[in-house]
C-alpha cells in the first residue's frame, strides 16, 4: 500500500497521544502513513516523542526544532500533523501549507475565527488538504445516531439538549487552558460539542448565550491518572495554583437552520456535576449525540427504551467505514477508542492525499465549529442574539478582538 510520509509538529501531551494513534493504524492492513520526523521548538520534547515513536512503531523518526528545516531535509515529506499550543495553530499551519505540506491540525482549529480564515486561505492558495482532527463524530455511537437521524427513525428532530457540567476548581489538564489568549476551557472542549451538534442536526442559524468566569484561580490536583510520560513530567513541574482569565461556564440556546432548537450548558468550574444529551423527534427520542466511547439509546413512542446493541439488531443499512469496521467489528467502541479514532483521522488524511478525496472536517467545517462556540461569547458580549453568519464572517467580533491583538492577527 502507498504511504504518505508525515511529520509530527508539536510533541507535548497531545502530540504523544497521536503516536498511539499511528501505532493503532500500523497494526492494521490499512496502514497508509509513515512517520518520518518529529518537530518541537523544545528539543527535549522532540527527543521524548522520538523515543516513544521508536518504542511504538519500531523506527526512530528524525528530530527537528524548526519546521522549515524539517520540510527541506526529509525526502518526499508530504504532510504534517500539527499538535501545538492552539494559540499558534494559525502560524504553524499557514507556514506548513506555504511550504507545500498537506496538514492535519488538532482541534480547536484555531482560537479565533479570523485565525481560522487565515488557515483556510492558505490551504486554498497552495491547493493543499487541510483536515481538522474533530474526533467525537468518528465514534461508532455518533455514526449510529447520525444514521438513525438521516433515516427518520425518530421522525423530525425539533428540540435537543447538550449539557456537560464538571464543577471543580482544579487545573484542567494544563494551565494554559485557563487563559483567554490561549482559547480557554469552553473553546477547548466546546468545539467537540458544537461539531457533534452540527454533525447530527445541521448548521446553526442563530445563538443567544451567556458566559461566566467562576474560578479565577485554579489549583493543582493531588495526582493525575494519566499514564503518558509527558503528562506525568509536566504535572511534576506544575505550579500549585495558576490564574484563570478565560470564562469557564456557558449557557446558550441554538436555533438550527432546520428550525430545531438546542439547549446548551457547558461548564468546567464552580459546583455540580451533570451530563445529559437528548434529541427529541416527532416519533421518539435519542438520548445521545454520540461521543468518544459512548453508547446510543433510543425510545420510539411509548415503547421500551432500546440500548445501543439492541438498536443494531433492528436498524437497516447501517455500516461503518472499512477501517472503523476493523477497529469496531461489533459496531460499538471498545478498548483504546481514543487511539483508534486518531488512527481514523490519519487514515482519512492519507486517503484524501493519495486519491484526491474530500476531507470530512476540512478547514471550513473546523471554522464553523470554532465560530459556533464563539457565537455564545459574542452574544454574551453584545447582549443580544447573534446570527451565525455574522460570527463566521467576523462582523460580530468584539470578544475576539483582544485575543487577535495579543496574537498579532489582523
Measured CA distances, 118 to 51, 105, 123, 124, 379 (Å)? 34, 14, 9, 10, 23
Contact 311, 144 (CB under 8 A): yes
What's the rounded Cα separation, in Å, for the pair 298 and 304? 9
In this structure, which topology does domain 4-134+344-360 adopt according to CATH? Rossmann fold (3.40.50)
Confidence (pLDDT) at 236: 62
User: Domain segments of the chain: what residues?
Assistant: 4-134+344-360, 137-322
Residue 243 Cα to chain centre, angstroms: 25
Q: What does the pLDDT read at residue 340?
A: 97
pLDDT < 70 positions in the chain: 1, 175-176, 222-240
Q: Is 227 left (phi over 0), alpha (psi -120 to 50) or beta?
A: alpha
Cell matching residue 334: 471498545
CB distance 154 to 300 below 8 Å: yes
pLDDT of residue 225: 61
Q: 284-286 and 297-300 as β-strands: parallel, antiparallel, unpaired?
A: antiparallel
Q: Does domain 137-322 have CATH number 3.30.450.40?
A: no
* d(C-alpha 376, C-alpha 250), whole Å: 8
CA pair distance 48, 63, nearest whole angstrom: 10
In contact, 165 and 222? CB cutoff 8 Å: no
- Give Cα 24 to chain centroid, integer Å: 19
Residues listed for the chain: 410
> For position 244, what pLDDT does the model report?
85
The pTM of the full predicted model, rounded to 2 decimals, is 0.95
Amino acid at each position: 500500500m502507498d504511504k504518505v510520509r508525515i511529520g509530527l509538529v508539536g510533541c507535548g501531551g497531545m502530540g504523544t497521544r497521536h503516536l498511539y494513534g499511528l501505532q493503532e493504524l500500523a497494526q492494521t492492513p490499512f496502514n497508509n502513513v509513515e512517520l518520518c520526523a518529529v518537530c518541537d521548538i523544545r528539543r527535549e520534547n522532540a527527543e521524548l516523542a522520538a523515543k516513544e515513536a521508536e518504542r511504538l512503531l519500531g523506527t526512530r523518526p528524525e528530530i527537528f526544532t524548526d519546521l522549515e528545516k524539517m520540510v527541506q531535509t526529509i525526502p518526499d515529506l508530504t504532510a504534517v500533523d500539527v499538535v501545538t499550543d492552539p494559540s499558534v495553530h494559525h502560524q504553524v499551519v499557514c507556514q506548513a501549507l506555504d511550504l507545500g505540506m498537506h496538514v492535519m491540525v488538532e482541534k480547536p482549529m484555531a482560537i479565533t475565527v479570523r485565525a481560522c480564515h487565515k488557515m483556510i486561505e492558505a490551504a486554498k492558495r497552495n491547493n493543499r488538504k487541510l483536515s481538522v482532527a474533530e474526533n467525537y463524530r468518528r465514534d461508532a455511537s455518533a455514526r449510529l445516531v447520525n444514521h438513525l437521524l438521516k433515516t427518520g427513525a425518530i421522525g423530525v428532530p425539533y428540540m435537543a439538549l447538550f449539557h456537560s457540567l464538571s464543577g471543580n476548581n482544579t487545573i484542567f489538564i494544563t494551565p494554559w487552558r485557563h487563559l483567554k489568549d490561549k482559547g480557554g476551557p469552553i473553546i477547548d472542549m466546546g468545539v467537540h460539542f458544537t461539531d457533534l451538534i452540527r454533525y447530527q442536526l445541521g448548521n446553526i442559524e442563530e445563538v443567544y448565550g451567556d458566559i461566566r468566569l467562576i474560578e479565577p484561580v485554579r489549583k493543582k490536583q493531588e495526582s493525575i491518572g494519566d499514564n503518558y510520560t509527558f503528562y506525568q513530567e509536566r504535572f511534576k513541574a506544575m505550579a500549585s495554583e495558576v490564574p484563570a482569565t478565560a470564562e469557564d461556564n456557558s449557557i446558550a440556546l441554538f436555533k438550527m437552520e432546520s428550525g430545531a432548537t438546542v439547549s446548551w450548558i457547558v461548564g468546567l468550574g464552580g459546583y455540580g456535576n451533570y451530563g445529559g444529551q437528548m434529541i427529541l423527534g416527532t416519533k421518539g427520542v435519542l438520548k445521545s449525540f454520540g461521543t468518544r466511547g459512548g453508547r446510543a439509546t433510543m425510545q420510539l413512542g411509548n415503547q421500551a427504551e432500546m440500548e445501543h446493541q439492541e438498536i443494531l439488531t433492528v436498524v437497516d443499512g447501517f455500516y461503518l467505514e472499512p477501517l472503523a469496521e476493523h477497529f469496531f467489528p461489533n459496531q460499538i467502541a471498545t478498548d483504546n477508542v481514543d487511539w483508534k479514532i486518531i488512527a481514523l483521522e490519519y487514515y482519512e488524511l492519507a486517503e484524501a492525499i493519495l486519491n484526491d478525496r474530500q476531507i470530512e472536517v476540512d478547514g471550513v467545517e473546523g471554522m464553523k465549529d470554532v465560530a459556533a462556540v464563539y457565537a455564545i461569547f459574542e452574544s454574551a458580549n453584545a447582549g443580544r442574539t447573534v446570527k451565525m453568519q455574522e460570527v463566521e464572517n467576523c462582523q460580530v467580533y468584539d470578544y475576539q478582538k483582544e485575543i487577535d491583538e495579543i496574537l498579532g492577527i489582523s
